[in-house]
Amino acid sequence: MRIKITLLLLITIISFNSCTKDAPFVPFFSISDDRTLGAQVAAEIASKPSEYPIVDSATHPAAYQYLYAIRNQILNSGKIVYKDDFSWRLRIVKDDTTLNAFCTPGGYIYVYTGIIKYLDSKDQLAGVLGHEMAHADRRHTSRSMQTQYGVDFLLNIVLGKDLSSVSQIASGMLQLKNSREHEQEADEYSVKYLCPTSYNAAGAAGFFTKLEASGIQCGGLQQFFSTHPCPDNRIANINAKKVEEGCTGTGTFDAEYANFKTLIP
Ligand SMILES: [Zn+2]
């Protein structure tokens, strides 16, 4: 039955897709499926404090407010297709050794203290957040999960038939590999999201420049690149996108960012 309905939906969506807004399509997975899976993974993450030590928003309200403000600017860019459909809840994970961030299908965002402390400016963090939010909004993550786990495995979770497998998905978030094509699109969307703001819209490039300066080459084994493989000329592509989009913001907010980092445990 599910297959029949899915096929019908597929045909309907394909015929509608050409005339709707810039909405990404994922075979066999609806927006509602993205939302359900995201909520299931987020609940599982919350139940694994040793694996995912979440910084308490009640004891660190100022740190969270700072991140919420950046997230909200991205959400209000007018470029997020599922702004009102996805969760966009943000959590900080206390792990100074992890230079990474991720976003589940349905928009549950996780940022590690490691990457927050590594970065030097607000536009860099905004670029990284935009990149991760693009993976959810462009529905890259649900596609990557289909590739890694298979459609049946995921639908059994979403339909409540095999809830025990959620644990595997939650534990695999930092190993889930995006394609190079998705990486490039997420980089480009991070620029689009920041373009209407006062930020330097190429903030994500600042992160990669910093990694390269410390001897970590794009495409190497460094943690971020194991889950976000590098298209060629990543820094140049981001800078070119900023020019192409005509983004005029230059703000990096270094001093403000340095102060924010003192709020991070
Ligand atoms: Zn990525």
Q: Which residues line ion ligand 1, judged by CB < 5 Å?
A: 178, 183, 186, 228
Q: What is the DSSP letter of 150?
A: -
For strands 90-93 and 101-103, give the pairing.
unpaired
β-bridge mates for residue 112, sequence order: 93
Q: How far is CA 16 from CA 26, 139, 179, in A?
A: 14, 17, 26
Percent of the chain at pLDDT > 70 equals 91
Residue 133, C-beta contacts closer than 8 angstroms, at least 6 positions apart = 71, 74, 80, 88, 103, 107, 109, 193
Distance (angstroms) between ligand 1 centre and the Cα of 225 equals: 8
Residue 120, C-beta contacts closer than 8 angstroms, at least 6 positions apart = 206, 210, 254, 257
Distance (angstroms) between ligand 1 centre and the Cα of 250 equals: 23
Distance (angstroms) between ligand 1 centre and the Cα of 135 equals: 7
Q: Round the CA-based radius of gyration of the chain to a whole number and report it.
A: 18
Distance (angstroms) between ligand 1 centre and the Cα of 192 equals: 15
State mean pLDDT over 200-227.
Answer: 84
End-to-end Cα, the chain, rounded Å:
50
Distance (angstroms) between ligand 1 centre and the Cα of 132 equals: 6
- What's the pTM value of the predicted model, to 2 decimals? 0.91
pLDDT tens per residue, range 14-60: 444 444 567 899 888 999 999 999 999 999 999 999 999 999 999 99
Distance (angstroms) between ligand 1 centre and the Cα of 161 equals: 30
